């Protein structure tokens, strides 16, 4: 057990946590997109099929078009903001990983016998926690992938639910 093992574990945790977070953010985006698509479909259908005595077909078409434009704007903003968030998350994770690597390199350069023993002792003390952190990060990443699968499965189903299904 060395400081190199600790740094590898820390880098793994950062990577897995970043992937889990990105999966959850993307899943939220997909879920929101599914909701927007359902609202667009239901809203357009409602306006088109509604019997409104004062609304002409041209007025209904303009309402549907306006609804589509708003929905498109929100959808594009959702995609753009999600993409920026994912890029930021990658930058933060990359910076963290570089910092971990820099510290690991610095600890390898310690050439004092006392310093080396101290670092080895610290690594031995921290290794169980590092191992636990790796396992937890792997479980979080797997859980995020399962949530993503559920959301994708739900999105593939019908967009509307009956009252007893809510």
pLDDT score, position 72? 92
Rg of the Cα atoms in the chain: 26
> What is the spatial distance between Cα 50 and Cα 81, in angstroms, rounded to a whole number?
35
Distance, in Å, from the CA atom of 31 to the CA atom of 83, rounded to the nearest integer, reads: 15
Q: Determine the pLDDT at residue 122.
A: 82
Asked whether the beta carbons of 5 and 32 are under 8 A apart, the reply is no
pLDDT of residue 163: 40
Beta strands in the chain (DSSP E): none
Residue-level pLDDT at 5: 80
pLDDT at 140: 92
Instruction: Indicate the domain borders of the chain.
Output: 3-154
Angle between helices 3-49 and 113-156 (to 10 degrees): 20
pLDDT on residue 158 = 61
Q: What is the pLDDT of residue 109?
A: 80
- pLDDT one-digit tens code per residue, 99-124: 888 888 888 887 788 888 888 888 88
Nearest to 47 by CA among 64, 35, 30: 64
Task: Report the chain (166 residues): mean pLDDT per 10 consecutive residues.
Answer: 78 93 93 89 82 80 89 94 94 91 83 83 84 91 91 72 40
The number of C-alpha atoms within 13 Å of 8 and in the hemisphere containing its C-beta is 7
């Amino acid at each position: 057990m060395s400081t190199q093992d600790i740094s590898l574990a820390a880098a793994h945790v950062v990577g897995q946590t970043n992937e889990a977070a990105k999966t959850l953010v993307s899943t939220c985006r997909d879920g929101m997109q599914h909701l927007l698509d359902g609202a667009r479909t239901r809203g357009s259908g409602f306006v088109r099929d509604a019997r409104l005595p004062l609304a002409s077909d041209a007025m209904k078409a303009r309402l549907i078009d306006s609804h589509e434009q708003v929905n498109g704007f929100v959808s594009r903003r959702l995609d753009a903001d999600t993409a920026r968030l994912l890029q930021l998350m990658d930058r933060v994770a990359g910076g963290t990983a570089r910092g971990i690597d820099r510290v690991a390199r610095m600890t390898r350069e310690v050439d004092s016998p006392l310093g080396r023993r101290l670092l080895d002792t610290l690594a031995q003390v921290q290794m169980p926690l590092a191992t636990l952190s790796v396992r937890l990060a792997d479980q979080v990443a797997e859980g995020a992938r399962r949530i993503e699968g559920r959301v994708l499965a739900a999105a593939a189903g019908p967009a509307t639910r009956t009252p007893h299904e809510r």
